[in-house]
């Protein structure tokens, strides 16, 4: 998705919350919205990526200093554990 394509989404989000102060430019945010489908990953790769994302979120939450936001990382980590347990079980579980 190009920045031009993402602009209506960004404007709609800004209209919903007038007090919102973006932490990145519109161009940087638009760059995070993929224009291609995600790469094919194994469940292990997905679990590893989820853990990395949780770690990055935790680091950002610590910098912000809002305790409930920090605690949210615990919820994400519990979800990752549930996914890992389901992946280890003899089933057809897929993280897609």
Asked if the model's pLDDT at residue 77 lies above 90, the reply is yes
What's the mean pLDDT in 35-43? Answer: 77
Report whether 32 contacts 3 (CB < 8 A): no
For the chain, how many residues are written? 96
Burial class (CB in 10 A: 0-12, 13-18, 19+), 47: middle
> Residue 88's pLDDT band (boundaries 50, 70, 90)?
confident
Asked if the model's pLDDT at residue 93 lies above 60, the reply is yes
* Angle between helices 43-64 and 67-88 in degrees, nearest 10: 170
pTM over 0.85: no
What pLDDT score was predicted for residue 24?
A: 65
């Amino acid at each position: 998705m190009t920045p031009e394509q993402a602009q209506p989404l960004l404007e709609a989000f800004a209209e919903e919350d007038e007090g919102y102060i973006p932490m990145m430019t519109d161009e940087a945010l638009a760059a995070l919205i993929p224009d291609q489908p995600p790469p094919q990953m194994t469940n292990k790769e997905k679990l590893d990526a989820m853990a990395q994302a949780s770690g990055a979120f935790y680091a950002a939450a610590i910098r912000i200093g809002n305790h409930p936001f920090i605690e949210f990382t615990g919820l994400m980590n519990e979800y990752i554990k549930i996914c890992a347990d389901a992946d280890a079980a003899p089933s057809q579980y897929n993280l897609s």
